[in-house]
Amino acid sequence: MTAPLPANPLLEPSARPLPRHVGVIGAGAIGPDIAYYLKTALPALSVTLIDIRQAAIDAALARLREYADKAVTRGKLKPEAAEEVLANLHGSTDYDALATCDWVIEAATENLALKHRIFADTEARIGDDAVLTSNTSSLPAARLFSNLRRPERATVTHFFAPAWRNPVVEVIDWPRADRALIVWLRHFFCATGKLPLITRDVPCFMLDRVFDNWCNEAALLLDGASAAEIDSVAQEFVHAGPFFVLNLAHGNPIIVETNTLQADAEGEHYRPAPILRSVERWVTPAPKQPADVTPEKRACIRERLLGVLLSQSVDILDRGIGEAADLDLGCRVALGFKQGPLELMRELGDAQSSRMLARFAQERPGMPMPQRALGTYQPSASDLLVDAIDSVKIITLRRPEALNALHDQMTDQILGVIRRHEDDPAVTGFVIVGYGTKAFCAGADIGRFPSLLGNASAAAQYARDCSRLLVHLDAMRKPVIAALNGMALGGGFELALRCHARVAQRSAWMQLPEVTLGILPGIGAMVVPYRRWPNAAPVFHAMLARAARLSARSASAIGVVDDLADDFDALIRLAVARVHALAGRLEPMAQGRVVVPPLDVAEARTADGRMLSASIIGLIAAAVRDAAAAPTLAAALEVGYRAFGAAACTAAAREGIAAFLEHREPDFGPTG
Ligand code: COA
C-alpha cells in the first residue's frame, strides 16, 4: 500500500528537480496566465506557448508584456526582474518546439477529441521523463489520458482565473498517476506560491462541481426571478453573483458542457438549464448595486442556493472527492465565496441545514443528500494541517489568503491539536510552521480588528482569548518548537516567542508592525522577550516602538533563534531534532519582577522613517515598564491585554487599521 500524502505538501521532498523548460499549449484565455505565473515564480525558466494561430500567440505575448509593465508601475516588480520574466518566453505554432520540455501543460479548448490529438502530438515529441498535465476544468483524467503511451506521467492540474494570481490549483490524484508525480506537483505548486488541493478524478473535480451547479441552479431559478434579483440575493454568500461571473467569463456554454457531462455520468438532475443555451449575456448590475428583492422571493432564492451548496458539499465529502478543509478554503479563495459552505452549514446549525436540504430534495429530486449526521462533515481544524514525523506532530498554519494570519478560533484550533496529543506517550512534542514559503504567520488577522475599535474591554478580552494557547504553552511539559519558514510578524512572532525554541530559515525575518497600525502587540511581546533574553532589551525596544525588523541571523545572534536552516527540509529536520533535545528539559519563564531599561523614543518614526503615533508609543513604553514591575508573569501579561484594549480606543488605531484595509499609508499627524 502506498503511504498517504502528507497534509503539508512541503513535508515530502520531491526527488524530481525544478523544471527548466515548460510548454503551455493554448494561447487563449488561461494558458498565457499560467505562463506568467510560472515565469514570475521561476524567472530563469524557459516557457514556450503553443497555439495553432500565430495571431493568438502574438496577442498572448503582448498581454504578458502588459502584465509585467503593470507590475513595474505598481512597484510589485523591479524593472530588471520584469525583463527576466519576459526573457526566455517564446511562442510557436510547431509542436517540435516542445521537444526539450520537461513539463507540458495543455490549456486548450474543452473538447475531448481535440485534447486526445494534442496529447498524441505532444507525447510523440517529449522525452520519457517529461510530465504532461491538462488544465481541463471538467474532463476526468481517466478519459483524457486513456490513449497515452505513458499515462503514469500525466494528470490534471486545474488552475482558476486569473491563473497568475489565483493561488488555487486542483491536482487530480487518479489511479494510474505515479505517486511521485503527484508528490512533485503538490510540492512544486506549494513552493511557488500556489495552493494545491488534491482532488479525486470525477467529472468537474471538486470546486467546479460547486461552481457549475451553483450557476446552473441560478439559471433554473430564472422561472421565478430575474438574473439581477438572483445575483443580489447570492451576494450574501459570494463577492459577485453567478450571472455577473458568467458574463465576465463568457461562461454559459461552459456550464452547458460541464453540466451535460455530469448529467450523462451521474443523472438527469444535473442537466443544464435550457436557457443557458439561448442567452449570451445576462442583464445584471455590478455587485455594488444590488437590486431590490421582495422578502418572499429572497427567501425562495436563498433557500435554493443554499440547498445546492449544501447538497454538493456533502456529496463531495461522502464520495471522498476532496477534503473538508480544502473545500471551504477552495470555495473562498478560488471561487470568491465569503465563507466556505461547511462554515455556512455550521453557522446555520444542523436543524436549519437539514430543513433546507429536505426542501431542496423535494424541489430537486435526485440531488445528493447527506449520508451521515451533518456535524460529521465539519473539518477537525479548518485552518491547520497536521502531520507526524517520528513521534513529533507538525502543525501547519494554513491561511494562504492572509499569509497565515491568526485569529482567536485558529489559536484555539492549535490548542485543540496540542491538547489532543500532549498526554499521548507516543508523542514527544510539536512543531508549528507556516504554509508555503513566504510566511510563518503575518500576525493577528487585521480584518477582525475594526469590530474591536472603541471598546477597551472587548479588545482586552480578544487579546486574552487569543492568549489561551500561549498561556497553555507556558505550562506545557512537552516541547513546542516554532519553525520560522518566512516572515513572523506581530501575533505570529508572539506565538513563536512563547514556543520553547525557534528554528528559522536564513531568509526568515521578524517584526512587530503593530505600532505602524496605531495599535500595540498585546499578547506577550511587551513582556516575554524581556524575561527570556534580558540582555537584548534594546532590540525589543526598537521592534516595539519603531517596528524595526529582526533578521533570522540577528535573532540567532541574540539567542531568540536557536538554529538556522538553509531550506525547508533542513528547517523541519532541525525543529524535530530540537523537540527531541528539549523533551523533559523545559525551563519555566521568569515569573516575578524583572529589570528592563526605560523605553525612550526620540522621534515617533519607524526604523525606515515612516510617521508613527506618539500616543501609541507612549502606551507601549508604559506597558513595558508596568509589565516588568508586575509581581507575576500572569499580572504582566494582563498589563499587555489591557494596554491593547486602551490602544484600540485611540484615534491612531482607527486611522492605522483603516489605512491598512484601504491599502494606503496612515496619517498619524491629526491623531497624535
Ligand atoms: N491580517 C489579515 N490579512 C493579512 C495580514 C494580516 N495580519 N497580513 C497580510 N494579509 C493579507 C493582505 O491583506 C493580502 O490580502 P489581499 O490579497 O486580499 O489584499 C494578503 O494577505 C497578501 O498580503 P500582501 O500585503 O499582498 O503581501 P505583500 O508581500 O505585499 O506584503 C506584508 C506582506 C506582511 C508586509 C503585508 O501584508 C503587511 O504589512 N501585513 C500586515 C502585517 C501586520 O501588521 N501584522 C501585525 C498585525 S497585528
pLDDT tens digits for 198-217?
999 999 999 999 999 999 99
Catalytic residue among 217, 494, 638, 655: 494
C-alpha cell at 450: 475594526
Element (H, E) at 621: helix 614-629
Tell me what pLDDT residue 514 has: 97
658 C-alpha vs ligand 1 centroid, how far in Å? Answer: 13
Q: d(Cα 105, Cα 102) in Å, to the nearest integer?
A: 10
Tell me what pLDDT residue 482 has: 98
Tell me what pLDDT residue 141 has: 98
384 C-alpha vs ligand 1 centroid, how far in Å? Answer: 19
What average pLDDT does this structure show over 449-453? Answer: 90
Question: 363-392, pLDDT tens digit by residue?
Answer: 999 999 999 999 999 999 999 999 999 999
Residue type, 140: P
pLDDT at residue 2 above 90? no
Q: From the CA of 446, give the closest atom in ligand 1.
A: 1
User: Which residue has its alpha carbon closest to ligand 1 atom 3?
Assistant: 402
Q: From the CA of 517, give the closest atom in ligand 1.
A: 44
Residue type, 611: M
Q: What percent of the chain has pLDDT over 70?
A: 100
Q: How many CB atoms lie within 10 A of CB 192?
A: 18
**Is 296 considered catalytic here?**
no
Q: d(Cα 577, Cα 583) in Å, to the nearest integer?
A: 10
Q: d(Cα 331, Cα 409) in Å, to the nearest integer?
A: 19
Give the pLDDT band of residue 399 (cuts 50, 70, 90): very high
504 C-alpha vs ligand 1 centroid, how far in Å? Answer: 20
Q: From the CA of 519, give the closest atom in ligand 1.
A: 48
Tell me what pLDDT residue 590 has: 83
Give the pLDDT band of residue 13 (cuts 50, 70, 90): confident
User: Which residue has its alpha carbon closest to ligand 1 atom 27?
Assistant: 403
237 C-alpha vs ligand 1 centroid, how far in Å? Answer: 23
| Residue 507 per-residue DSSP state | T
403 C-alpha vs ligand 1 centroid, how far in Å? Answer: 6
C-alpha cell at 28: 487563449
Task: Encode 208-246: b = buried (16+ Cβ within 10 Å), e = exposed.
Answer: bbbbbbbbbbbbbbbeebbbbbbbbbbbbbbebbbbbbb
For the chain, the distance separating the N- and C-terminal CA atoms, rounded to the nearest angstrom, is 65
What average pLDDT does this structure show over 292-301? Answer: 95
User: Which residue has its alpha carbon closest to ligand 1 atom 8?
Assistant: 442
Helices (H), 235-320: 242-249, 252-266, 275-278, 295-318
Give the pLDDT band of residue 104 (cuts 50, 70, 90): very high
pLDDT at residue 668 above 60? yes
Cα Rg, the chain, nearest whole Å? 27
What average pLDDT does this structure show over 65-90? Answer: 96
Q: d(Cα 510, Cα 530) in Å, to the nearest integer?
A: 16
Q: From the CA of 487, give the closest atom in ligand 1.
A: 34
Element (H, E) at 32: helix 31-41
Give the pLDDT band of residue 463 (cuts 50, 70, 90): very high
Tell me what pLDDT residue 477 has: 94
Contact 26, 107 (CB under 8 A): yes
Tell me what pLDDT residue 582 has: 97
Q: d(Cα 320, Cα 435) in Å, to the nearest integer?
A: 23
User: Which residue has its alpha carbon closest to ligand 1 atom 34?
Assistant: 442
> φ, ψ for residue 481 (rounded to 5)?
-115, 135
Mutation test of ligand 1: which of 338, 398, 446 has the most ligand atoms closer than 8 Å to its C-beta?
Answer: 446
Q: From the CA of 447, give the closest atom in ligand 1.
A: 2
Q: How many CB atoms lie within 10 A of CB 506?
A: 16
Question: 593-624, pLDDT tens digit by residue?
Answer: 999 999 988 889 998 899 999 999 999 999 99
SS3 165: coil
Q: d(Cα 15, Cα 179) in Å, to the nearest integer?
A: 12
Q: d(Cα 576, Cα 483) in Å, to the nearest integer?
A: 9
Mutation test of ligand 1: which of 403, 441, 451 has the most ligand atoms closer than 8 Å to its C-beta?
Answer: 403
165 C-alpha vs ligand 1 centroid, how far in Å? Answer: 15
Give the pLDDT band of residue 398 (cuts 50, 70, 90): very high
pLDDT at residue 588 above 90? no
User: Which residue has its alpha carbon closest to ligand 1 atom 36?
Assistant: 442
Q: From the CA of 445, give the closest atom in ligand 1.
A: 1
Tell me what pLDDT residue 602 has: 84
What average pLDDT does this structure show over 399-411? Answer: 93
Lowest mean pLDDT among 1-5, 63-67, 241-245, 474-478: 1-5
Q: d(Cα 114, Cα 24) in Å, to the nearest integer?
A: 15
User: Which residue has its alpha carbon closest to ligand 1 atom 4?
Assistant: 402
Catalytic residue among 106, 229, 323, 514: 514
Instruction: Look at the alpha carbons of 59, 64, 70, 73 in this order and tell me if their dihedral is positive or negative.
Output: negative
What average pLDDT does this structure show over 24-51? Answer: 96
442 C-alpha vs ligand 1 centroid, how far in Å? Answer: 6
What average pLDDT does this structure show over 338-344? Answer: 97
What average pLDDT does this structure show over 389-402? Answer: 96
Tell me what pLDDT residue 408 has: 85
402 C-alpha vs ligand 1 centroid, how far in Å? Answer: 6
Contact 506, 528 (CB under 8 A): no
User: Which residue has its alpha carbon closest to ligand 1 atom 21?
Assistant: 402
Residue type, 576: V
Lowest mean pLDDT among 430-444, 596-610, 646-660: 596-610
pLDDT at residue 1 above 70? no
Q: From the CA of 661, give the closest atom in ligand 1.
A: 13
Q: What percent of the chain has pLDDT over 90?
A: 93
C-alpha cell at 351: 436543524
Is the bond into 162 cis (omega within 30 degrees of 0)? yes
Q: Which residues line ligand 1 (CB under 6 A)?
A: 402-403, 405, 442-447, 487, 489-491, 513-514, 517
User: Which residue has its alpha carbon closest to ligand 1 atom 41?
Assistant: 442
**Is 514 considered catalytic here?**
yes
Question: 263-289, pLDDT tens digit by residue?
Answer: 999 999 999 999 999 999 999 988 888
Could you identify the residue written with the cell 525558466?
A: 45
Lowest mean pLDDT among 258-272, 278-292, 633-647: 278-292
